[in-house]
Amino acid sequence: MRFACGFDHGGYPLRETVLEALRSDGHDPVDLGASELDPGDDYPDFALAVVRAIRGGDAERGILVCGSGAGVAVAATKVGGIRAAMAHDTYTAAQCVEHDDCNVLALGARVIGPEIAAELVAAFANAVFSGEERHVRRLAKVDAIERDGLDARL
Ligand code: RB5
């Protein structure tokens, strides 16, 4: 599977770990930067690059890394059709795909080290949406909120 990947300066220390974890599992990472450590860069720039790749069909899923994982998750979920989850445990990294059909994993390089990060990437990358009725039903409600905001009728 093709994964768009983005890292701000806070996430940069996990860049090689994330890319290599995907490659070693047979996936195809697309590295959207940063290509070098720049303490002045801004996490929304990388979030936008990754979600553009997903929405444009250049990648099926994405992985975004900042310092905490929070900033990139918030920025990514501002775009319709993007379901981003910050996960620092393998249960959430897999379940966010299996139940919630998440297409972006957000990680914090100031929270976890490379060994855990590689396990999280593998859990997310190899998970498959269940397709079960209750999960599809809940996702339709999420879509309604995305479409209609506070006027959504669930
Ligand atoms: C950068 O200092 C930091 O704020 C950013 O990487 C991220 O953690 C934001 O959520």
- Cis peptide leading into residue 87 (ω within 30°): no
The structure's pTM equals 0.98
Query: What is the reported pLDDT for 115?
Result: 98
54 Cα to the center of ligand 1, angstroms: 22
Instruction: Determine the pLDDT at residue 103.
Output: 98
In terms of Cα–Cα distance, which of 5, 9, 82 is closest to 42?
9
**Runs of H (alpha helix) within the chain:** 15-24, 43-55, 70-76, 90-98, 114-125, 133-148
- What's the confidence (pLDDT) of residue 64? 99
Q: Give, for ligand 1, the residue of 8, 72, 78 to mutate: max count of ligand atoms closer than 8 Å to Cβ.
A: 8
Please identify every stretch of the chain with a pLDDT value under 70, giving residue numbers as ranges: none
Domains (ranges, CATH) in the chain?
Answer: 2-128 (3.40.1400.10)
Q: Residue whose CA is closest, atom 2 of ligand 1?
A: 10
CA–centroid distance, 32 to ligand 1, in Å, is: 17
pLDDT in tens, 95-121: 999 999 999 999 999 999 999 999 999
Cβ atoms 72, 64 nearer than 8 A: yes
What distance in angstroms lies between residue 77's CA and the mean position of ligand 1's atoms?
Answer: 16
